[in-house]
Structure 1
């Protein structure tokens, strides 16, 4: 049997038709696509800076005074026309005061003599007051203390010397040395709490 032969005239159109059907599909509009999931550098949002913690400043509050206890803050003496003045300033509630003349000022609670300049001596005792609140608090770090002088020597006409004579069980004692016996005038002032003692000067004799 003879093989089938296709005339050359028909081969040319057939080849063109196969070429048209077997070509690659056209590209999509917009160019090639990317499969990289990472954002491009141009489109990436800048990372927000990490928030810095605000600086903190340690604050130390002044410990409160124990209830019913006054803390001595200052002792002052001044000379005025006609009298000498002695001032005790406290923080807290006003303590009770007892002022009296004594033959000798002694230390509380030992009973030892307290040396003072002068010819007459006055005992000044504050009930409910202290120089140091350590015995009244559980934590000694919360204690408050008087930091001023414990002895003054003004050398005024009446008021010669003042000294601490005791600080025991919320009873604060002072001794006062005077040049001569003068009737003390005691006053209480507030804001701040102060106990003021005035010692009038002796009136000079008049000559007729």
Structure 2
């Protein structure tokens, strides 16, 4: 009927010929993320046939503990670490902070807007986040392969001379994709062994020096 045609036209459907066929056009460019329609099945008024989403920018929802939520503000930089996905962490901006605390989890929900122009990030993945709530500070990073474990302690081998290396106990902080933060025990600018660090540890343990050789560095 003309009324039905008018309703379809208002919804964005364009007639593509006779026989009751209509072309449904999305009101914006995006990706079909759900399809409920099948060929040959009738549709009823109000039924959702397709769901389209613009994935060029994703929203990441984070749960911030109540005790730490007071320091969180829109506009702060956020570093996102994606579970099960390779590649470096992503930087994004915190865009919204909820005005109330969830009574069940005692957390505050915040939203981060994450550009995704190449579509490499998938909706629904789990992630960890680090929100920068204060001014930036320099951190000391070493490759993860440089850190060895001995007797429950973390250590790196510091070059002290030509062919000489000293095992030094360190305290670690945040872990990134291929590096780790050293918060104590290693001076800035020190040269550490990466390739062959495991073999050096093996030799140290073989000589029964163990963790006793691993002097705690300054800092």
For the aligned pair, the TM-score class normalised by the smaller chain equals: under 0.3
**TM-score, normalization: structure 2?**
0.19
Of structures 1 and 2, the one scoring higher in RCO (CA 8 A, sep 6+) is: 1
Structure with more of its chain in helix, by fraction = 2
The structure carrying a bigger strand percent of its residues is 2
The higher radius of gyration belongs to 1
State the TM-score, normalizing by the size of structure 1. 0.20
